[in-house]
Structure 1
C-alpha cells in the first residue's frame, strides 16, 4: 500500500494507532511537537498525558456512549498481547474499596473474575484498620508497566518502518501535510488544530508519586495486587467536598501512588484552589495532597506490612487528563478539513491507555472498511511473528 497516513501526536493513542496501521501494511508517519523518548523533565509537560499514566486497563474518568464496545475490544487485545509476552503487561488482582456503600459502576460487569469483597477473608482486603466497615469488589485487571510497555511500543513502531517527525503544527499547516488521510491523536492540543464542537473543554489534574525500588505486592497465590481505596469524605475530599480516592500500582521499578482528581478547564488559567499549604507535602518543589502518602501508608502498613516516608526516594509528577466533556468526551469520528480526510481520536480522559487498542482498531476499521474482528485477528497474527526479546 503506497498511500501514506499521517498521525498527529505521539502519545499512547498516536503510537498505538500508527503501529496498528503500520503492521497492517500502511506507510505511516507520526508528526509530533514532543517526542516521548527525548523528554527528560516530564513535569515540564503536564499536558502530555502519556508521560503520566497509572496504566491500569480500567475505564476510569472517560465518557462515551460507545465505552463498553471500545473497552471490551481493547481489553481483549491487551489479554492477547500478554499471551504473546509483550513487554510490561501483567495481570493484577485489583481491589476497589470504599468506606461507604457505593454505586457499582457499569464497567464492573466488563471486568474478568469480578467478586464482591463480602466473600473474602478480611486479611486479604486493603484496609486502614480492622474497625472499618468496607464495601467493594476485586477483579482481574491488565496492567501496563509503563517503564517497559511504552518504550517497547515505540520501538516496535520504529522497527516496523514507522517514522516519527518532530514538528509543532498550527491549524494553517494541515492543508500542506503530505497525506490525504490525517489521524488526529493530539489530545489536549486537538482544539488548537481543529474546530471542536464541545463547549466545555474539561481537564483533570492529577498527582502521582513514584516510590523507587519498592517490592511487588503479592497475595498468598503470588498474584500481583493493586487497589483504589476511597475513605469517608471527611478523611479525603476535593474543594467541593467530593470524596477522593488513593491508589497503589506496584510495578517492577517501584510503586505508582496516587492520587487526585482536580477538574478545571482547558482554555482557562486554573488556580486549583483545593491545594493549600496545610494539606500538602512538597517534594522537589511540587506540592501534592498529603493523603497520597498518609492514607497509602496506612493501607500498605496494615494490610501488606510495607511502609514509606516522605523522605524516601519518591518522585512526584503532576499531569493533566483531557476529559473534554462529561456527556460524550471521547471524540472518535471522521470529517473533511482543508481538503483532507481527518479521523479524530482524542478526549480519552483517564483511559488513554485503556482504550488505545480499541480506538486504534476502530479508526483502522473506518479507513479500511474491514470489520474490527478481522483486523484484530490479522494484527495479532503479525505481532506473533515479532521477537519480543528485541523490544525489551
Structure 2
C-alpha cells in the first residue's frame, strides 16, 4: 500500500530557483510546501539585474541546456509582461564574438554582430529576456499557490528539520551552513537604481584590464545600473563611493545617464560555486534530498531548466 505522504515535498528556499522548482513540482500534482526564511522580495533574486545569458556558470554544457530550456519558457511569459515581469528586449553584449560561442547560440533570437553605431567595441546584438524580478517573483508565488502549494515562513537551521519524504534544497548561499558546503561563497554585487532618461536597450560592457563589468538594464519604471563582482565579501551595505563609480562607468557608455535622479541602492550576494549542485541524495532513513543550488549570478538564466531537472530527481524511480 502506497504511503499517503509519499507525494509530499518540502522546498527550502524562496528565491527564483526555489519558487520555480516549487511551481514545476506543484503543477505536476505533488503536494508542495515552500519553507522561506524571508519573503521572495527580500531574497538575493529580487536584487538581480536578471538579463538572460549563460555566463559564469558551470558545468558549461549542462548550463547551456538549462538556459535554452528556460529561454523557451521566458519567450512564452514575455507575451504577458505586465503580469509575469518578463520582456524580450534588444541590446548589446559587449566584448563578445559569434565565433566564441557554441552551437547553442543559434537558438538566441536576433543574435548577430553589433554595428559600430550600436557599440564602439566588438559586441553581439540580441533580443533577450529581461526580467523585472519583484514582479516575476510575485507572479511565481501566485502561480505556485494557485497550483495548490503553500508557503511557510520558517528559518531552517538543519535540513533534517524538513520531515517530508522528499526535500529540495534551494537555499543558495544558505547551503554553505545548512549542508554544510563550504565551497559555496558570496560574490557581492552592488546596483544603482535611477530614473530612466529614455533608454530602451540594454548594454553589458566588460573591461578586462580594469576587471569591471558595466551594465545598463531598462525596466518599465526605472533603469538598473551595475555592477560589481566582489569575491567573498559579505557586506549588504551599499558603498557610496562604489555607487558613484558605477554611475560614472554607465554614463561613459550612455551619456544621457549622467545626472539621472538616483532612486535606490541595492546589494545582493550571488551564491557562487565552482559548479552547480543539482543532484539526488538518498538519506539513511530512505527519504530523498535533492540539491539545486550554486547558480551564482545565472539563477534566472537557468531557473526553469534546473527546476525541471530537480523535479525529475524527486521521483521514486529517478537515478541517484
Report if TM-score (shorter chain) is over 0.5.
yes
Question: Which of 247, 251, 258 does residue 308 from structure 1 map onto?
Answer: 258
Distance in 1 (CA, whole Å) between partners of 2:282 and 2:238 is 46
For the residues of structure 2 that align with 1:136 and 1:341, how far apart are their CA atoms? 45
TM-score (norm 2): 0.86
* TM-score for both structures, normalised by structure 1: 0.71
How far did residue 155 of structure 1 move? 1.9
Per mean C-alpha deviation after superposition, the further-off stretch among 339-348 and 141-150 is 141-150
Equivalenced residues, count? 309
Aligned to 1:260: 228
Task: Identify the residue that residue 148 of structure 2 maps to in structure 1.
Answer: 161
Rg larger for: 1
**Cα distance in 1 for residues equivalent to 2:99 and 2:214:** 18
Matched, 1:187 2:169: no
Q: Deviations over 1:284-308 (max 9, x none)?
A: 764425431112112222xxxx233
Secondary structure at 1:205 match in 2: strand
1:30-45 residue pairs with structure 2 within 5 A?
30-37=34-41, 39=42
1:87 aligns with 2:84: yes
Q: Tell me what 2:199 maps to.
A: 217
Kindly state the Cα deviation for residue 167 of structure 1 after the two structures are TM-superposed.
1.3
Q: Secondary structure at the match of 1:79?
A: helix
SS of structure 2 residue aligned to 1:141: strand
- In structure 1, the residue matched to 2:26 is 22
**1:10 equivalent among 2, 14, 26:** 14
CA distance in structure 2 between the aligned counterparts of 1:6 and 1:81, rounded to whole angstroms: 26
* Partner of residue 366 from structure 1, selected from 303, 313, 320: 313
CA distance in 2, matches of 1:101, 1:187: 31
Q: Is 2:184 the partner of 1:201?
A: yes
Q: Is the 8 A contact 1:61 1:323 kept in 2?
A: no
Cα distance in 2 for partners of 1:369, 1:308 equals: 57
Specify whether residues 32 and 246 from structure 1 end up closer, same or farther in structure 2 by C-alpha distance, changes over 3 A only.
same
8 Å contact kept, 1:246–1:258 = yes
Task: Check 1:92–1:170 CA distance in 2 against 1; reply closer, same or farther (3 A cut).
Answer: same
Secondary structure of 1:332's aligned partner: strand
Shift of 1:102: 11
Q: Distance in 2 between matches of 1:314 and 1:361?
A: 37
User: Conserved in 2, the CA contact under 8 Å of 1:59 and 1:350?
Assistant: no
Give the counterpart of 1:296 among 242, 250, 266: 250
1:143 aligns with 2:130: yes
Distance 1:343 1:232 in 2: 37
- CA distance in structure 2 between the partners assigned to 1:58 and 1:101 by the alignment: 14
What SS class does the counterpart of residue 72 from structure 2 fall into?
A: helix
Aligned CA-pair RMSD? 2.8
Separation of aligned partners in 2, 1:286 and 1:109: 41
SS of equivalent residue, structure 2 residue 295: coil
Deviation at residue 216 of structure 1 after TM alignment: 4.9
Runs of 5+ unmatched residues, structure 1: 40-47, 128-133, 219-224, 238-242, 265-269, 273-282, 372-392
- For structure 2, the residue ranges without an aligned partner over 5 or more in a row are none
Report the alpha carbon displacement of residue 81 of structure 1 after superposing the two structures with TM. Answer: 2.3
2 CA distance for matches of 1:68 and 1:148?
25
Q: Distance in 1 between matches of 2:270 and 2:101?
A: 20
